[in-house]
Amino acid sequence: MQKIEHIGIAVKNLAVAVPLFEKLLNTNCYKTEEVKSEKVNTAFFKQGETKIELLESTDPDGVIARFIQKKGEGMHHIAFDVMNIEAEMERLKKEGFVLLNETPKQGADNKLVCFLHPKDTNGVLIELCMEKPDF
């Protein structure tokens, strides 16, 4: 793992959360994107080398909606940038970590992603992400 790529924060409403984080971070949201496969709308901020991703559910039964119902708004995951997502997934599987997806899937911000089960990581949802290669 190279660096923290972003921190994901679950929010109920991007229309409320984006202006709040623009004030907090003293920077504008540089990108919004819908990730239909994950049933979320995202908004991104960059602070130094790290990005903050706000996640709003587009489905009342979506993962983010269920997270907020259970735990409230707040930190959802930490994403780490990796050079080779398949190799890192294989390495972590051999180390005994449970992957929530067996193959990398399309995430926001042109990334391939994989999540590790939080029961193996002290309750923190970890996302591996790699820039999607151009072919």
Residue 135 is predicted with a pLDDT of: 55
Residue among 89, 111, 87, 109 at smallest CA distance from 100: 89
Q: What is the pLDDT of residue 47?
A: 86
Instruction: Assign 3-class secondary structure to 13-54.
Output: CHHHHHHHHHHHHCCCCCEEEEEHHHCEEEEEEEECCEEEEE
Candidates 89, 108, 121, 91; CA nearest to 8 is 108
Contacts 24+ apart (CB under 8 A), 86-94: 88/1, 88/128, 89/114, 89/128, 92/116, 92/128
What was the pLDDT predicted at 50? 87
Question: What is the radius of gyration, based on Cα positions, of the chain?
Answer: 15
Mean pLDDT, each 10-residue run in order, the chain (135 residues)? 92 98 96 93 93 97 96 96 96 96 92 95 95 76
Q: Which amino acid is at 67?
A: F
- Quick one: which of 13, 133, 129, 16 has its CA closest to 80? 129
pTM above 0.75, yes or no: yes
